[in-house]
Structure 1
Amino acid sequence: MIERFYLKEFLTFKEADMEFHPGLVVFTGPSGSGKSILMRSILASVGLENVEAQICESSVSWSIDEERYGIQNESLNIFRHVKKEKTRYFINNQSMSKSSMESISSTHLRHLSLKDYNDFESSALLNLLDDRICAKTPNHALILQSHKDQYTQFKTLSDHLKEIEEKEKNLAELKEFALYEIGKIDAINPKIGEDEELALIKKQLSKKEKIETAIAQAQSIFSYESSVSSALGLLEANSAFFDDAMNELRSLFESASERLEELEEVSVESILDRIEQIAELKRRYGSVEEALAYRDQKVQELESYETIEHSKDDLIKKLASFQSSLKSSAQELSKQRYSILKETLATLNGYLGMLYLREATLELEPTLLNATGSDKVILGLSGTKLDRLSSGEFNRLRLALLALGVESMQGSGGVLMLDEIDANLSGEESMSVAKVLRHLSTHYQIFVISHQPQLTSMGEQHFLIYKDDESRVQELSDAERIEEIARIISGESVSDEARGFARDLFERARG
């Protein structure tokens, strides 16, 4: 529920601070006093409306999915909308996107103002039927959950089969392409590090003649080797360093000469061709390593194509088994739904009768197998299509469905916000709406704007919105409530007769 709301600087409101109770909360006041502005501000505080208030803040007892939204729950979670240079949203002082705040709030609060057909969708009506069955037959919930789990697996396998069948259509082309790609790389047969080795050979070939000439010229140094050793001996100097240097130089020249002899047998054209092949491979795949990895991937794909028929046969068998089980559970679900349909319709029509609406029709029709079975529910209102209903009829029909849902509801349903749901209704119709809302308030916290004394008298908490130089909010005591109900009945000049009728309404609502 929403436990507290604070508003600062929005249109005719300078400031408003309210604490709310559970149950039915009524807002009344003269036209133009700011009731709708206040309602919009409450919605804005939790991200469900756009307003230009400086601050809108609601303290709520809703539980937030901490892992999903990264918000830690407090004993009361504070939702805040702040407008300075731009609008920002916070939960527990942590900055939040409007879309995330809206996602959190929409699971706890419903604003019943526009013609939202979600309550009349087959999925919602099926859920309503299933909840009523579960309240009487707990095993129904197990069957339904098992069916949903199996259908999820069935759908996954079905999608996989479609992928296989799609691949089958192009299997010959896929195999041919994989073989072509493998063959193209195998024809080059690259080795890791080969490109660096080829670059070195190319470099050596380009300097081969210069190296040979330089070595030939440098060989004359060895003819002076004995002379240098003799001179070092006469000088009584240690000649080991010289001997080591000459031996190392001789070894280096010999290795170089051997390498040059090997290069004599190397074809320059073949090296250049090989370099170009490797370069082309690198241009296409990025590197020799990536080319070889791509080849391995195509080999694996080729192997998977070879086993595709076997996989398909296995999938078809599994799907047949799942389908048989799903049909069986769907039939059991249908049986249970048919068993409660007549009683559910009678109860719904009881609420519709209270609300001065025509009787409804509620029918089960077969449909394609899905996660909830193989049923769809069709709701109708005798003599009128749902899209032709007036807004008053539409909202009263929706109230009847909500009242029906309350009968099997476990725990709180959250918050409902209603804009003048009793507008243009007779006194009897308004009282019927008030009674249904009072019934709903056992599981919902309900905020409602009313211009009728009947609904106003049923409220468990009553706020008066009035305007002098600015819009103000006042929570009314019992005596003040009777006076406000009398004002609604007779206008600004309140008569004793209106006070008497107001007191009678108020006391009957309490009785």
Structure 2
Amino acid sequence: MLTSLYIKNYALIDELNVQFNSGLTIITGETGAGKSILLGGLSLVLGKRADVSQVKNTSEKCIIEASFDIANYHLKSLFADLDLDYDVQTIIRREILPSGKSRAFVNDTPTTLESLVALSTHLIDIHSQHQTQQLIQDDYQFKVLDALADNKQNLELYTAKLNSYRALQKSLEQLKASKSDMIKEYDYNLFLTKELNEIDLESLNIEELETQYEQLNNVEIIGEKLGNSKMILSLENQGIIDQLNLVKQELNRISSFGKAYEELEERVSSTAIELDDILTELDNLESQLSSEPQELERISEKLQLVNNLLQKHAVIDVEELIKIKEELQSKISNTESLDDHIAETEETLLKLQKELDQIATDISSKRSAIIPELTQKLEDLLSGLGMPNARFKIDLEKRDDFTSNGKDALSFLFTANKGSNYNTLKKAASGGELSRIMLTIKSVLSEYMQLPSIMFDEIDTGVSGEISNKMGAIMKQMSSKMQVFSITHLPQIAAKGDSHYKVFKTDTNDVTHTQLKRLDEEERIVEIAQMLGGANITESAMAHAKQLLN
């Protein structure tokens, strides 16, 4: 519900701050008084593109701010989707800066015009005689039918499953499209994996393999050097060990003469022991040496194979080769299981399709059942609005494909006159007739669902007398369930309001200003009397005005 509207520095409005109540709110004023300015400002709050030419004083910014009570609108999830802070007292503000740039805020959070439009459609609906395009749109006609048919839960379930169905369809198409490419790669990936499997990469120690190769490849020089080393150490009377023993004997003779000599002898003894160990190790290594041409060839081939793989796959170590092998095996496995995956997806799709068919059938059945009631309600209401011969023909035909509205094709046909053929609303109804049809539809909808606040902008144009009285009665009835605004020139409608505002112009210092005032009881009588009889108010006009108000 719109609770307040603040406008500053917009068109002919310097500053305006007005509070609104629930029920039926009437707005009147002479032609050109500025009712369109009021609507223009409100439209900016609802997401209309800003026009800097509408700024009154271009040196200051223009501000339009609207407050809404949305406690009963169930919009928390929408606020979350739009990344906005939810508050039951929501404030929407538009600013147009002197530079021409505009900004939008919801509860002081900056937002985009797209988000503003998405939110505002749930808050207020501005409807004029020239804004009846909704009526001729399939989605709106389905909305009307489903509201009466109580299809909300079915449609929510259908929409959720339809989204899953379409996502799965897309996935299946991608699987099938990639199948041929994956099959082409399969043989090559299999070949690469076979190459990598020729070596047990996981247990391969490349450093140890290279060490073995060096030893086998240089067995002769290793044997020669080991033998020379042994000879140097053990040559009789000339070897290092014999010579060191002589040193030890010499030092032994003086070791008792001082600590330093004793320690030196011990060091030489330790060295002699270490050299004996070294000689033993040299002897062991020499005895273990053997020439193994076949093993050397095997290791050489293995090293060559590893190096070729490293070069082929452009990597530097075995760990990376193992990773590549795992990736190739995964691709092979995916290709081998692709047919199974496709079959499983097709099976799931078929199951979803059957579920969707069943839900769509339930939706269609409920629609078909409610059509006679909807038709009767609309025709009865229109009969009271001066269209006694108005008739509707609403038909459903089953479609083969799934749409956002189920599997029905909706035919919403109309005729306003006896003997005339049924046709689409766009072709069969005039502008004035469309306005009355829209009013009746909104009236019927208000009985079955929570509608946003609605503002009827002179939809009573061309209507007078008893018909206008009945239009007012419909609006009054609607206002018991929702907030209704009516911008009108008709006293019969104006008299039915719970509150009444007048738009008027004043001239101050040769400058024209638009203002909006809430009328008290006496002022309402005068305003309605003027609407009845013009500027020169007669006693009979005053009496008629009081009669209408009472």
Q: After the TM superposition, which residues 89-238 of structure 1 pair with which residues of structure 2 at under 5 Å, given as runs?
A: 89-113=104-128, 114-134=130-150, 145=153, 149=157, 153=161, 156=164, 160=168, 174-175=182-183, 177-189=185-197, 223=232, 226=241, 234=251, 235-236=264-265, 238=267
For structure 2, list consecutive stretches of 5 or more residues without a partner in the other structure.
Answer: 53-60, 234-239, 252-263
- Does the CA contact (< 8 Å) of 1:55 and 1:80 recur in 2? yes
- Does the CA contact (< 8 Å) of 1:414 and 1:443 recur in 2? no
CA distance in 2, matches of 1:401, 1:302: 58
Deviations 1:272-293 (A, max 9, x none): 664353344358xx97514522
Give the equivalent residue in structure 2 for 1:393.
433
* Distance change in 2, residues 1:436/1:376 (3 Å): farther
Give the equivalent residue in structure 2 for 1:31.
31
* Distance change in 2, residues 1:428/1:77 (3 Å): same
Give the equivalent residue in structure 2 for 1:68.
81
Answering whether residue 382 of structure 2 is matched by residue 352 of structure 1, we say yes
Secondary structure of 1:442 counterpart: coil
Q: After the TM superposition, which residues 315-326 of structure 1 pair with which residues of structure 2 at under 5 Å, given as runs?
A: 318=351, 322=355, 325=358
Secondary structure of 1:78 counterpart: strand
- Does the CA contact (< 8 Å) of 1:191 and 1:288 recur in 2? no
CA distance in 2, matches of 1:169, 1:87: 47
- Does the CA contact (< 8 Å) of 2:399 and 2:409 recur in 1? no
For structure 1, list consecutive stretches of 5 or more residues without a partner in the other structure.
Answer: 135-140
* More deviation, 91-100/182-191: 182-191
Secondary structure of 1:33 counterpart: coil
Q: Alpha-carbon deviation of 1:401? A: 1.1
Give the equivalent residue in structure 1 for 2:546.
503
- Does the CA contact (< 8 Å) of 1:232 and 1:238 recur in 2? no
**What amino acid is the match of 1:501?**
H
Give the equivalent residue in structure 2 for 1:43.
43
* Distance change in 2, residues 1:439/1:315 (3 Å): same
- Does the CA contact (< 8 Å) of 2:85 and 2:109 recur in 1? no
Q: Alpha-carbon deviation of 1:22? A: 0.8
Aligned length: 489
- Does the CA contact (< 8 Å) of 1:112 and 1:419 recur in 2? yes
- Does the CA contact (< 8 Å) of 2:154 and 2:359 recur in 1? no
Answering whether residue 95 of structure 2 is matched by residue 82 of structure 1, we say yes
* Distance change in 2, residues 1:238/1:337 (3 Å): same
CA distance in 2, matches of 1:320, 1:45: 43
Q: Alpha-carbon deviation of 1:13? A: 1.0
CA distance in 2, matches of 1:204, 1:494: 121
CA distance in 1, matches of 2:106, 2:46: 9
* Distance change in 2, residues 1:276/1:121 (3 Å): same
Q: Alpha-carbon deviation of 1:19? A: 0.8
Secondary structure of 1:368 counterpart: strand
* Distance change in 2, residues 1:26/1:192 (3 Å): farther
Cα RMSD after superposing both structures: 4.9
Secondary structure of 2:333 counterpart: helix
Secondary structure of 2:458 counterpart: coil
Secondary structure of 2:33 counterpart: coil
Q: After the TM superposition, which residues 426-437 of structure 1 pair with which residues of structure 2 at under 5 Å, given as runs?
A: 426-437=464-475
Give the equivalent residue in structure 1 for 2:16.
16
Deviations 1:14-66 (A, max 9, x none): 11111101122222223333221212222323435535562211221114335
- Does the CA contact (< 8 Å) of 1:178 and 1:299 recur in 2? no
Q: Which has the larger radius of gyration?
A: 2
- Does the CA contact (< 8 Å) of 1:4 and 1:19 recur in 2? yes
* Distance change in 2, residues 1:87/1:329 (3 Å): closer
Secondary structure of 1:47 counterpart: coil
Give the equivalent residue in structure 2 for 1:363.
394
- Does the CA contact (< 8 Å) of 2:503 and 2:517 recur in 1? yes
**What amino acid is the match of 2:398?**
T
Q: TM-score, normalised by structure 1?
A: 0.75
CA distance in 2, matches of 1:413, 1:189: 69
- Does the CA contact (< 8 Å) of 1:158 and 1:319 recur in 2? no
From 414, 417, 440, the counterpart of 1:381: 414
- Does the CA contact (< 8 Å) of 1:347 and 1:404 recur in 2? yes
Q: TM-score, normalised by structure 2?
A: 0.71
Q: Alpha-carbon deviation of 1:94? A: 2.4
Q: After the TM superposition, which residues 431-470 of structure 1 pair with which residues of structure 2 at under 5 Å, given as runs?
A: 431-468=469-506, 469=511, 470=513
CA distance in 2, matches of 1:27, 1:343: 34
- Does the CA contact (< 8 Å) of 2:50 and 2:96 recur in 1? no
* Identity among equivalent pairs (%): 19
**What amino acid is the match of 2:110?**
S
Give the equivalent residue in structure 2 for 1:138.
none
CA distance in 2, matches of 1:116, 1:243: 112
* More deviation, 241-250/385-394: 241-250
CA distance in 1, matches of 2:23, 2:272: 107
Give the equivalent residue in structure 2 for 1:293.
327
Deviations 1:379-431 (A, max 9, x none): 22214642244433222211111112223x25x42211232222343444433
Deviations 1:200-242 (A, max 9, x none): 9899999x999x9999999989848646797699434636599
- Does the CA contact (< 8 Å) of 1:361 and 1:379 recur in 2? yes
Answering whether residue 310 of structure 2 is matched by residue 278 of structure 1, we say yes
Q: Alpha-carbon deviation of 1:460? A: 1.8
Q: Alpha-carbon deviation of 1:3? A: 1.0
Secondary structure of 2:337 counterpart: helix
* More deviation, 421-430/269-278: 269-278
Secondary structure of 1:50 counterpart: coil
